[in-house]
Amino acid sequence: MLKRIRWIWVLVTAAAFFASAFWLGTLQQPLIDQHEFRQTQTALGALFMQPGLEGLLNYQTPVLGSPWSIPFEFHLFQWLSHQLASLTGMNLSTSGRLISILFGVGCLWPASKLILRARLGIRAVALLIILYCTSSIYLYWNRAFLIESTALFFTLLSLDFYSQTRNKEFSSVREFSSLNAGLAISLSIALLIKATTALPALVLMATDWAWQSRTALRQREKLPQAILVGGGLIVAFTLLYSWTHHADSLKQLNPFGAQLTSSALNAWNFGTPVQRVHPELWLKVVSGRMLAPIAAIPIIMGLRISSNQTRTFLLACLILAFAPLLIFTNLHIIHNYYQAANHIFSINGRSRICCIYSTHAVKRRLKRYP
């Protein structure tokens, strides 16, 4: 058993070294690789970033003509890339790639905390790191000049805060209030940076919160905590709604932007009912890019042999892995970088299932050879 554990950490080190070498080795590449239009658009937003709050709220989008403002996401990633380039003298494209890499690596922190908090074992964390650092999706898109890793980091962070407010016993009101504030802030940032990444997590948390609140209301226990958590979720959604209204108002000031409002892009964002059952989604996106059907089989089998706590974790992973595909179907079909938002949850589930099966195998051997 000790030898097996040592081998796991050897593989973790090798995977981390391989990923780091690839990410850092491609920092200097110009923004002419996949989805170069989207990458250069993000870079131009950082390049023309104006100082102060005006630069964040009403930033210019010179892709379709200067100085028009056609805001989509909140410009936190672009602002950080601009600041790093200004402070260090670094090339802007290199700065953006580095910020993307840092947030990509940072995703492992809340993801690992979720695994450990669910008492799923350190080996599950090790396998998560191995699968994440060797995933083609995260190897490639974590070093792109895109907002994907930043949005995913804050989404995972909000899930970690929510899991603490849900499962942890609190010694003081201040401790709970701090965690709830962390939930509201991280979820708000995630939704503002990229709603398509964080919305499925918000829906899952809101559904779970409604169920937990029903129990708290019936048993008259932890009702104030439930109210505060619900308030945090409402604050995050309200900020998203306000930002969308603000962005749509600015877009309508010019002829190109009027065609890019949230209502005008409904069909483009969500797709059609036919697309949700079309082979293009399940063969091209799910099987071709994520290999999720293969990953889903052991996860579903694991629901039968796991404890209640593990079943809850695996079910959440399944929902967060597949819900974005069914909500924003057309976006996932058209853009092969969108799977960065949900692929980590299928990795999370697989890492735990590998540990479950290996544990069961050891137990069977011990019973056979006492």
Domain edges within the chain: 2-368
Residue with tokens 């877009």: 251
Regions in the chain scoring below 70 on pLDDT:
1-5, 66-67, 219-220, 292-309, 349-370
Q: Which of 320, 339, 214, 327 is nearest to 272 (CA)?
A: 327
How many CB atoms neighbour CB 11 within 10 A? 16
Neighbours of 5 (CB within 10 A): 12
Q: 333, 361 in Cβ contact below 8 A?
A: no
Task: Give the pLDDT of residue 194.
Answer: 96
Token pair for residue 190?
Answer: 């995630």
What is the spatial distance between Cα 313 and Cα 139, in angstroms, rounded to a whole number? 25
pLDDT of residue 369: 38
Q: pTM value? A: 0.90
Which residue pairs, CB below 8 angstroms and at least 24 apart, start in 250-256? 250/58, 250/69, 250/70, 250/71, 251/70, 251/71, 253/68, 253/69, 254/64, 254/65, 254/68, 254/70, 256/64, 256/65, 256/68, 256/70
pLDDT at position 67 is 65
pLDDT given at position 307? 60
pLDDT of residue 54: 80
CA–CA gap between residue 237 and residue 243 (Å, rounded): 10
Where does residue 185 fall: left (phi above 0), alpha (psi -120 to 50 degrees), or beta otherwise?
alpha
Q: How far apart are CA 28 and CA 38, in angstroms?
A: 18
